[in-house]
Amino acid sequence: MKKGFFKLKTPKDVYKIIETFSNLGNEIVNIKDSLNRMCFKDIYSDVDLPNFNRSTVDGYAIKAKDSFGASESTPVFFKIIGEIKMGEKADYTLNDGEAIRISTGGMLPQGSDAIVMLEYTNELDKNTLEARKSVSPLENVIQVGDDIKKGQLVIKKGFKVRPQDIGMLAAIGKKFISVYKRPKVAIISTGDELSEIDKEIPLGKIRDVNSYTLSSLIKEVGAESICFGIVKDKFLDLKKKCEEALNKADIILISGGSSVGTMDITLDVINSFPYSEILVHGISVSPGKPTILAKVGNKAVWGLPGHVVSAMIVFLIFIKSMIKKIGGYYKYKYISEKSTFATLTKNIAKAQGREDYTRVKLFKGEDGIIYAEPILGKSGLISSMVKADGIIRIDMNSEGIEAGEKVEVILF
């Protein structure tokens, strides 16, 4: 049992270090499989959408000028020269005073520039149309390129692909898209006290929770998780697992590897690899102070506190950001895309020179206001994370937050 000597980095320092890790390059996927992937490069349209003038209503294609002055009391008459079926090329050319039947989505014939809606018409006989409304040029028409023009930007590099983006890609005929490769993240749980999660375990042991929470968090960010199971606190065992993990993953999380008992082993293992460098050895953050970040070749190795809550919070505030960074997401700097504001119910005191993350539960008071109730539990208690709806960040230089203050809650 040795004391750890930390030269603490600030969270800001750590984010700067995370920025130095580069992305993993790209792969081509079918747009069907591209939901929530990160677009690898700016995508431009090769086509005009639509590529023909379309009707937005059921009615009659006409020359708008022929309808001018038409009203309920003074209808205008047209000669019906045919019908354009949905999905067919409009082979007609319209002359003055002529009209053609057309459905929503139908292609406007040459010469027509507007549609008079069905509701304002009557077919007096097969060839004669009565129109009771004047329409302006382009009324009820989507013109070539109205949706998107040839050469126009469709999706930006680094943006997350949403359902509507996939729809746009389909609409312009792009079946495949270049996206950033998804980071693979390995989890190694260290600790002589750890046991697989069976129903009964020997007294003194605890079940390996971090493998489960961390792999779920990894999946939630859209990365791939690979569990390497439990390793005893022994140099050779950990070294062997790390080697395997370095071969298969881009980021390696060693949970429990930064607790005082195993920290030295973790550091020794990291240092035993060629091209390895310890970048972070302790962060001025609570919980999560005893966190290690190292680079082995071009891969990141994190030593995480064994406490489940500390490990989760370090993941949420730092590792998530790194996964997004190397996964190409332009928004990697934000901890959460979901947050809400609430009024704090209790004072939270804190030491200066350290950034704190406090778990809170949200509730609506009888006054209709949303309150954030701090959950003050020991960092080893997973129940505190189960009870919580999110976390609040308390600034490095703050001495705490008072009850009644408005806080931003980063939602889970």
How many residues bind its own copies (CB under 8 A)? The answer is: 93
Asked if residues 158 and 197 have their Cβ atoms less than 8 Å apart, the reply is no
| Span 264-303, contacts to its own copies by CB under 8 A | none
Of the candidate residues 125, 247, 366, 378, the single one contacting its own copies (CB under 8 A): 378
392 binds its own copies (CB under 8 A): no
Site for its own copies contains 110 (CB under 8 A) = no
Residue from 43, 304, 312, 344 binding its own copies (CB under 8 A): 312
- Of 233-262, which residues contact its own copies (CB under 8 A)? 233, 259-261
Between 152 and 271, CB nearer to its own copies: 152
Helices (DSSP H) in 51-116: which residue ranges?
none
List the one residue from 13, 130, 139, 192 that touches its own copies (CB under 8 A): 192
**Contact call for residue 52 and its own copies (CB under 8 A):** yes
Structure tokens at 73: 């009391």
- Determine, following the binding rule CB under 8 A, whether residue 211 of this chain makes contact with its own copies: yes
For the bound state, the minimum distance from the C-beta of residue 92 to its own copies, rounded and expressed in Å, comes to 12
* Nearer to its own copies (CB atom), residue 33 or residue 399: 33
343-372 residues near its own copies, rule: CB under 8 A = none
Residue with tokens 């998780």: 225
Task: Give the DSSP per-residue string, 291-349.
Answer: -EEEEETTEEEEEE-SSHHHHHHHIIIIIHHHHHHHTT-TTTT-S-S-EEEEEESS-EE
Please tell me the distance from the alpha carbon of residue 305 to that of residue 316, in angstroms, as a whole number. Answer: 13
Structure-token pair, residue 206? 């605890």
Partners of 185 in the β-ladder: 225, 251
Of 119 and 402, nearer to its own copies (C-beta) is 119
Identity of the residue, 175 or 275, whose beta carbon is nearer to its own copies in the bound complex: 175
Q: What is the C-alpha separation between 283 and 312, in angstroms, rounded?
A: 15
381 near its own copies (CB under 8 A): yes
d(CA 132, CA 328): 57
Do residues 259 and 1 touch, judged by C-beta distance below 8 A?
Answer: no
Question: Does 6 engage in binding with its own copies (CB under 8 A)?
Answer: no
With contact defined as beta carbons under 8 Å apart, do 45 and 149 qualify?
yes
Q: Two tokens at 294? A: 């190292």
Q: Is 406 in the site for its own copies (CB under 8 A)?
A: no
Q: Is 7 in the site for its own copies (CB under 8 A)?
A: no
Q: Is 308 in the site for its own copies (CB under 8 A)?
A: yes
Residue count (the chain): 412
Contact stretch for its own copies (CB under 8 A) within 196-204, 241-249, 291-299, 392-400: 196-204
How far apart, in Å, are the Cα atoms of 192 and each of 130, 186, 205? 88, 20, 8
Q: How far is the CB of 381 from its own copies (least distance, A)?
A: 5
Stretch that binds its own copies, among 16-24, 73-81, 180-188, 381-389 (CB under 8 A): 381-389
